[in-house]
Amino acid sequence: MLTCIAGICFLGSFGSITRNTENHKGHPKIVNIVNFIRLLEPRDPAVTEDVLYQTVVKQVEIMKKYKLGGSFLLQYDALMNPRYQKLLKGLPRDSFEIGAWWEMPQPLVEKAGLKWRGRYPWDWRANIGFSTGYTPKEREKLADVYMHDFKKIFGYYPKSVASWFIDAHTLNYLHQKYKIVASANCKDQYGTDGYTLWGGYWNQAYYPSKINSYMPAQNAANQIPVPIFRMLGSDPVRQYDNGLGTTRQGVVTLEPVYKFGGGDSTWVSWYFREFVKGEAMEFAYTQAGQENSFTWDAMAKGFELQMPLIAKLRDEHKIKVETLAASGKWFKEHYQVTPATSVTINNDIEGSDRKTVWFNSRFYRINLLWENGTLRVRDIHLFNEKFPSVYEKQKATSNECSFFTLPVVDGYLWSDKQQMAGLRFKAIIDGKEMLLEGGDPLITDPVRGKLHISWPLKTVDGTLLIDMNEGEIEIKIKSKRAIAWYLDMSAADKAKLPFTKIDHHQLSCNFQGMDYFLKALKGSFTKQDSGSVFRINPASNTLILNLSGR
């Protein structure tokens, strides 16, 4: 089906989707349009303050044209600029939100009584332009100055504060003193722009640990009660492997400046089709919009093709468009702790047969990737609220910043161009080891908090069944005859693996000083001499893994 909006054509059909923004179980598909604003761009002399301002003017104009509300988040130097104040004060409060973009420019730092160490009035390095570059007490001073001046200008405190990354101390302070209700941070990425956020709650939103803003908490007593939403609309299939074998990933996201991604009509159509149709469990979430630093000329094509499509899906009641603060308020009203959610791609872009599902809970994340008829567990990371961030008690001294969780399978960092790491499904057929092959998986949410996957097999006569809940994974094969199947873990020869001991029912690990483990409640681990790192064998055709750390 070819759909044309505002002269732009989109491939694909949305016709089979329910016309309710909340599916038959009452679970919404949420889109936040978030544009954040900087006053200046020192990296390019052609990007003047007026170019940046006019970019925001155009964003407002297009959003109003399609009656789309959203969030504009101000860096402090833009907050103090009269032009931005006038422009944003004129937006209707019932559909637009003015919030804070948490990067530290020179005027804010100096007004807080601190010494500016940057090369320019805004310096994007992690130890200069972000709260991680300051002591906890200094972070509080920066927050107080920003909030005081924001309220003086707008008459209230902002409800949303977002950044590529915000430390937990700042986030908790902003919640306790200024009652913010929502935050957002960057998508998962490795080394991009010098910032690494790796292994976290993939997309959607989570309550962070009080000692690590990137780590989901497992218990309400140890969490900051402000949901952090993952930004940028990451490509669930391609972003993870982007830049494999290098030290820095590229970007494949909904951001409208990217030619393959948010600036491409075919990609955008595919992304929203899968966003609406794919199983998400509790709710689906994505963030549209763009920082003004990229300028209107660079983002115009993508922005102008996305906004009418988003408006169309909203009008058809297939998505809900709201502010970041509204989403934060909704999340807190519905969840006392981080819920289990999923991101599902049933059909990739034309020319690719890949399918994937990301499952997240407060205890772990896992990614399954189907390609060329085979299935690989591409990623498993465990979450532990006791794992501290190094930035909580001391300030960053490097111009780069890194946040991690606890790896069990890492298909990116443990791979190279010769060997793709992961857990592969295999079986012994007629005395030979073979990869299990199958057709299209069916991914459903039959019971709240439980994701069910049914994968019809071709290698053998049977169906692989996977059930995931917030703490466990159960795998078995439904077949008329016994099948000797198992999972093999492979990694590149030079991969730095966390495994310290492989016992019959427990895989013991250590990462950055934290001990953790994966337990087999049914089935067993065996160490392999060659070809793979370890093998996981089912017992009586069933494998049950405990990923809760309990």
pLDDT of 401 reads: 85
User: 460 pLDDT band (50/70/90 cuts)?
Assistant: confident
Report the distance separating Cα 219 and Cα 202, nearest Å.
19
Task: Say if residues 228 and 185 touch (Cβ distance below 8 Å).
Answer: yes
Report the distance separating Cα 96 and Cα 80, nearest Å.
19
Same domain, 503 and 542: yes
Cα separations in angstroms, 372 against 132, 155, 351, 352, 466: 43, 57, 12, 9, 19
Same domain, 284 and 372: no
User: 25 pLDDT band (50/70/90 cuts)?
Assistant: low
Same domain, 418 and 300: no
Report the CATH number that the domain containing residue 79 is assigned in CATH.
3.20.20.510
Please give the residue range of the domain that contains residue 483: 363-387+400-546
DSSP states of 467-499 as a string?
Answer: EE-SSEEEEEEEESS--EEEEEEE--TT----E
DSSP states of 5-51 as a string?
Answer: ETTEEEES--TTS-SSSB-TTS-BEEEEEEEEE-S--TT-TTS-HHH
pLDDT of 24 reads: 45
Same domain, 145 and 223: yes
Most distant CA pair in the chain, distance: 76
Residue 476, pLDDT above cutoff 60: yes
Residues 6+ apart with CB under 8 A from 351: none
Domain count, the chain: 2
Same domain, 325 and 419: no
Same domain, 180 and 207: yes
Residue 78 lies in a domain: yes
pLDDT of 7 reads: 42
Residue 350 lies in a domain: no
Residue 356 lies in a domain: no
Residue 40, pLDDT above cutoff 90: yes
Residues 6+ apart with CB under 8 A from 176: none
pLDDT of 201 reads: 98
Residue 426: phi and psi, rounded to 5, are -130, 165
Task: Say if residues 228 and 31 touch (Cβ distance below 8 Å).
Answer: no
Same domain, 370 and 334: no
Residue 269, pLDDT above cutoff 70: yes
User: 550 pLDDT band (50/70/90 cuts)?
Assistant: confident
Same domain, 39 and 186: yes
Same domain, 376 and 287: no
For the segment 300-322, the average pLDDT, to the nearest whole number, is 97
Residue 440, pLDDT above cutoff 90: yes
Task: Say if residues 284 and 30 touch (Cβ distance below 8 Å).
Answer: yes
Give start and end residues of each alpha helix (H) in 131-206: 136-154, 168-178
pLDDT of 246 reads: 77
Same domain, 103 and 248: yes
